[in-house]
Structure 1
Amino acid sequence: MADVWELDSEGIEERVAFRAQVRDLVWRETKRRMRFLGFSEHEGPATPNALAPTSAAAKAVHLMYLEVATEVGDAARELAVDAATRAGRAGASYADLGDASGITRQAARKRWPEAVGTHWALYLLTGKSHPHGMAVQVLRSSSKAIETGRTAVDEGALTKDGAVGAVVINAAREAVWACYFDDGTCALEEITLPDDLQNVPAPGEEGHNDWLYRWEQHITRLL
């Protein structure tokens, strides 16, 4: 986040001018809506504070102003979500998003949990009995990865070589969702993996094959 004291005078003037443009936009839209308050097109106060502070008209105008300002804030948040998502797809990190929006990396991750890391790995454990097989898919959203994993395990119960377990891993190589097919209840069971399976080494990294083996053993014990 840029410190306001580190900005040159031109940068400060640009920010002040931008905020003035936003205020002007909110006020112009408020005046446009004043017809709902009984004002004609050319009537109404020239500024938000032109009316007597305690008058009923001032109350109505200020509430209308608040309504418009809230809508602007909602629209800005929607634009920020879209911008953060597109930045993440372009390779921006949560630290980058935090710097751009004036918040910490952790706050950026919490605000836009799916912005960074559009590649979500879905690991499927296949086959009814040992040795199990393994299948990996890469998807562009966590919801799609989870939906695909849930469907695969649900349908896997119908075939000998179908999926019996699934786990979704985010771009930070963290397990964010897991499940297996419980033959006892004949239903998919969502589970939380133990701590030693939460972090997943990337393919090719030391420990990746060991993680796959331990995850397979964990699911096998549940079947």
Structure 2
Amino acid sequence: MDDVWEFHGHALKEQAAFQAQVRDLVWRETKRRMSFLGFSEQEGPATPDALAATSAAAKAVHLTYLEVATEAGAAAKELATEAATHAGRAAATYADLGEAAGISRQAARKRWPEAVGTHWALYLLTGKNRPHGMAVQVLRSSSKAIETGRTAVDEGALAQDGAVAAVVVNAAREAVWACYFNDGAYAPEEITLPEDLQSVPGPGQEGHSDWMHRWEQHITRLP
């Protein structure tokens, strides 16, 4: 069994080394910007604290260092948001994002509210008289997926093989919206799926075909 303390110590050393690299990057950019002080990159102070603490030069250096560090933080934040968004599109959950970022699932949801669920699967059940077909589309917003599903079901009544029901599934494979064509009202009607249909296995996963069959059976039993 691996020594957990040794592993933890190794991780801390890696973090310290990475932080040192970031500090070096920020300091090198600060020195590059210090030409207004009359210093070249080679002639300038070796560290941010190398000048007299109360000198005008020290003030200028530290303000420039702050400027660069702030820009670096903003760039890192932007990179993190981009990475979280791409991970969400690859079906990562907020628990996954939180673990990667060292924060809680709730904090990850608050920090990147649009990351998870940025791709939405729209399932359409087709076949007017006897549902028998299935169509799947992937969209990048829940509102677009719902709008597309509702429109497909509304227009499906005019075609023999049109859509008779729709379900929108988020990146966590949860059914977040569903509707079917209500023959009595002659219009799409939003419904809440039973609990056993709210979790949707992904294509190729065990249970995906069974879920589609049970969804079809549920829709055919509706009035």
- Into which bin does the TM-score normalised by the smaller protein fall? 0.5 to 0.7
CA–CA distance in 1 between the matches of 2:187 and 2:22? 53
Give the aligned residue type for 1:210: R
Give the aligned residue type for 2:71: V
- For 1:12-161, list aligned pairs within 5 A: 12-34=12-34, 38-40=36-38, 42=40, 45-49=45-49, 50=51, 52=53, 57=60, 60-78=63-81, 80-81=83-84, 84=87, 88=90, 100-103=100-103, 106=105, 110=109, 112-114=115-117, 121-126=121-126, 130-137=129-136, 139=138, 142-143=139-140, 147=144, 150-151=147-148, 153-154=150-151, 157-158=154-155, 159-161=158-160
1:172-199 Cα distance to aligned partner (Å, 9 max, x none)? 541034456799xx9988x573563533
Give the aligned residue type for 2:15: R
Q: 1:57 to 1:195 in 2, by over 3 A?
A: farther
Q: 2:217 aligns with which of 209, 213, 217?
A: 213
TM-score normalized with structure 1 length: 0.58
Structure 2: gaps (5+ residues): 202-206
Q: 1:203 aligns with which of 196, 200, 208?
A: 208
Q: Which residue of 1 aligns with 2:204?
A: none
Q: 1:76 to 1:152 in 2, by over 3 A?
A: closer
Give the aligned residue type for 1:135: M
CA–CA distance in 2 between the matches of 1:59 and 1:109? 32
Aligned length: 203
Structure 1: gaps (5+ residues): none
TM-score normalized with structure 2 length: 0.58
Give the aligned residue type for 2:80: R
Give the aligned residue type for 2:134: A
CA–CA distance in 2 between the matches of 1:54 and 1:131? 84
Identity among equivalent pairs (%): 40
CA contact (8 A) 1:150 1:179 kept: no
Please state whether the residue corresponding to 2:23 is helix, strand or coil: helix
1:19-39 Cα distance to aligned partner (Å, 9 max, x none)? 10111112222333445xx43
Structure 1 vs Structure 2 CA RMSD: 4.9
